Amino acid sequence: MAQKKKFIIGNWKMNPESTRLATGIFKSIQKGTADLSKIHTVICPPYVYLEALARLQTSTKGTQKKQKGKKKVAAQPEPVVLGAQNLNPEPLGARTGEISGEFLKQFNVKYVIIGHSERRDLGETDAVVNTKILAALGWKFKTILCIGEKVRDDDGHYFAFIKNQLEQALMGVKKEQLSSLVIAYEPVWTIGATAAMTPPLVHEMTIFIRKTLFDMYKTRTLSTPILYGGSVDPSNAQEILQQGSADGLLIGRQSLDPAGFVSIATIANTLS
Ligand code: PEP
């Protein structure tokens, strides 16, 4: 069976400080990943940079068309795709300061992060996360659901916590929609930290999340990728992907450093 492409997703959060810097980083990432055919590369910048970055995107439609009808198609490099860090579930209306998924579509946004721990810290509840997940899937975004425990206890209560987060966030999500969903497991205690979670613990949680989804959806074929996020860098990416059995990585700080991000992407490309 062909290996699935790994997801290398950068979350720029509230960075960098200017459009000039944002376009510079994006161009370097585009250049550095241009020949990598075995990964999906996604960058989620602040909303205000989407328009400028969308203009830098190139289209591969021509190449894709030519391949139609062929029996066996070798994996092709894909352009860097844009994602958003959040959305408002309403299409339009009296929501001061909010951004609707309708707007994001205009800037060629294909992915949306929902339920990042930094947004949950701002008061986003499981119910709000659920509403946003349903809206994002309804708009046909590839929807990245972030889950993760704040602390680890010795009795393994974090397993129940993760299960509950999944059940709450995915209420009303249909089995057919699972292929548009990406789960990003981000233990909050590893975000912005000095070390990532160890690969065996990532592996344990990847299996747990997969099993929870199997139980929820009563399916044996699960198309939902399960990513890891939290202090990923070029020194730990390979082990997390291999030993941790992660289908990809959600990357914060290192996604603002083109050299580091490209190096992680290159590692992932050799493993897929
Ligand atoms: C994140 O905030 O999603 C994240 C993974 O951050 P970092 O890589 O900087 O730990």
Give the model confidence (pLDDT) of 165-217 as tens digits: 999 999 999 999 999 999 999 999 999 999 999 999 999 999 999 999 999 99
**CA pair distance 23, 35, nearest whole angstrom:** 20
Q: Is residue 146 included in any domain, yes or no?
A: yes
**CA pair distance 70, 50, nearest whole angstrom:** 35
Residue 127, φ and ψ in degrees, nearest 5? -65, -40
How does the average pLDDT of the chain come out, rounded? 93
Q: Is residue 253 included in any domain, yes or no?
A: no
Strand 142-147 to 248-251 pairing: unpaired
Give the model confidence (pLDDT) of 97-142 as tens digits: 999 999 999 999 999 999 999 999 999 999 999 999 999 999 999 9
Q: Is residue 257 included in any domain, yes or no?
A: no
Question: What global pTM score does this model have?
Answer: 0.94
**CA pair distance 83, 95, nearest whole angstrom:** 21
| Closest C-alpha residue for ligand 1 atom 7 | 252
Are 33 and 259 in contact by the 8 Å Cβ rule? The answer is no
**CA pair distance 45, 67, nearest whole angstrom:** 31
Any ligand 1 atom below 6 A from CB of 101: no
CATH of the domain at 188: 3.20.20.70
Q: Is residue 149 included in any domain, yes or no?
A: yes
Instruction: Give the chain's domain count.
Output: 1
**CA pair distance 90, 160, nearest whole angstrom:** 31
Q: Which residue out of 40, 116, 149, 203 is catalytically annotated?
A: 116
Tokens at residue 131, please? 């509403």
Question: Domain residues for 176?
Answer: 6-62+74-91+98-245+266-271
DSSP class per residue in 153-164: -TT-HHHHHHHH
Q: Name the residue of 116, 117, 191, 261 whose CB sits within 8 Å of the most ligand 1 atoms, as the mutation to test its pocket.
A: 191
Q: Is residue 207 included in any domain, yes or no?
A: yes
Any ligand 1 atom below 6 A from CB of 191: yes
C-alpha 183 to ligand 1 mean position (Å): 15
| Closest C-alpha residue for ligand 1 atom 2 | 252
Residues contacting 9, CB < 8 A, separation 6+? 41, 42, 43, 44, 83, 111, 144, 182, 184, 227, 248, 249, 250, 251, 255
The answer to whether residue 186 is catalytic is yes
Q: Is residue 252 included in any domain, yes or no?
A: no
Q: Is residue 260 included in any domain, yes or no?
A: no
C-alpha 1 to ligand 1 mean position (Å): 32
Q: Is residue 117 included in any domain, yes or no?
A: yes
Question: What integer pLDDT is reported at residue 219 of this predicted model?
Answer: 82
**CA pair distance 252, 233, nearest whole angstrom:** 10
Q: What percent of the chain has pLDDT over 70?
A: 93
C-alpha 253 to ligand 1 mean position (Å): 6
